[in-house]
């Protein structure tokens, strides 16, 4: 695939958030007007996405970086403002991961208002490479053939074995219809990873901005 579509390089910080479902719109506004401009000022920043569930208040903030060094350096510059915004909107950080972008295929440009399925798995660090290969060889081609497919992604924390596998879709219905084709392959990948504590979530892409082809949205 072309470099524009095959973007499996760089690093990503995935921050799991829990917020007030009644303040989702305000949280999106604060992230877009406060956090995103600050992220864009940091060296090595290549993109960011805010995605969540309006009913539960669960969310993921994902930022993309050219290198592990720039990702780590940006944390101290951005975190104080992020905590201020979360305090204003009744939210908090549940956990965060620093991951390698092991696979990222973008079939259509990143945009907000679309839907994502994200599978979080705690796996065996020694089996991560096998799981990545399985995802690339078996799952990505199937996702690409489904109506409404926009993105396929696989982020890995090689130290802990935690992975984030995901796909992005034009509509929630497209996402739901794809489940039958993908569920068995997803289970196979989880088994290859020696995975446990699997969490499968459906999110709306609240906001996203990608600055360079090195990275894309979830």
For 152-192, what is each residue's pLDDT tens digit?
Answer: 999 999 999 999 999 999 999 999 999 999 999 888 888 88
Quickly state the pLDDT bin for 8 (edges 50, 70, 90). Answer: low
Beta bridge partners of 62: 14, 49
Give residue 1's pLDDT. 35
CA distance 118 to 107: 17
The angle subtended at Cα 7 by Cα 161 and Cα 81, nearest 5°, is 70
Contact status, residue 105 vs residue 139, Cβ threshold 8 Å: no
CA distance 75 to 38: 11
Q: Which two tokens stand for residue 210?
A: 């990608």
Contact status, residue 100 vs residue 155, Cβ threshold 8 Å: yes
Q: What residue ranges define each of the domains in the chain, with the CATH number in brackets?
A: 11-210 (3.30.70.100)
Does 3 score more than 70 pLDDT?
no
Beta bridge partners of 208: 49
User: Which one of 43-47, 87-91, 186-190 scores highest in mean pLDDT?
Assistant: 43-47
Give residue 216's pLDDT. 42
Average pLDDT over residues 113-142: 94
- Phi/psi at 156 (5° precision): -135, 140
Does 201 score more than 90 pLDDT?
yes
CA distance 34 to 31: 5
State the average pLDDT for the chain. Answer: 91
Does 33 score more than 50 pLDDT?
yes
């Amino acid at each position: 695939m072309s470099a524009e579509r095959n973007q499996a390089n760089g690093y990503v910080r995935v921050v799991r958030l829990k917020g007030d479902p009644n303040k989702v719109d305000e949280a999106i506004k604060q992230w877009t007007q406060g956090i995103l401009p600050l992220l864009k000022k940091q060296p090595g920043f290549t993109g960011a996405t805010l995605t969540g569930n309006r009913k539960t208040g669960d969310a993921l903030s994902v930022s993309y970086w050219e290198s592990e060094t720039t990702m780590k350096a940006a944390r101290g510059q951005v975190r104080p403002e992020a905590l201020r915004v979360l305090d204003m909107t009744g939210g908090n950080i549940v956990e965060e991961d620093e991951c390698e972008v092991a696979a990222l295929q973008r079939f259509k440009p990143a945009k907000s208002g679309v839907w994502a399925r994200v599978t979080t798995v705690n796996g065996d660090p020694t089996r991560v490479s096998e799981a990545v290969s399985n995802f690339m060889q078996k799952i990505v081609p199937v996702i690409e053939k489904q109506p409404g497919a926009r993105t396929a992604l696989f982020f890995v924390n090689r130290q802990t074995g935690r992975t984030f596998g995901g796909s992005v879709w034009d509509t929630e219905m497209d996402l739901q219809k794809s489940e039958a084709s993908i569920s068995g392959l997803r289970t196979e990948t989880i088994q290859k990873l020696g995975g446990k504590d699997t969490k499968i979530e459906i999110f709306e892409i609240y906001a996203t901005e990608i600055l360079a082809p090195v990275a894309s949205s979830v």
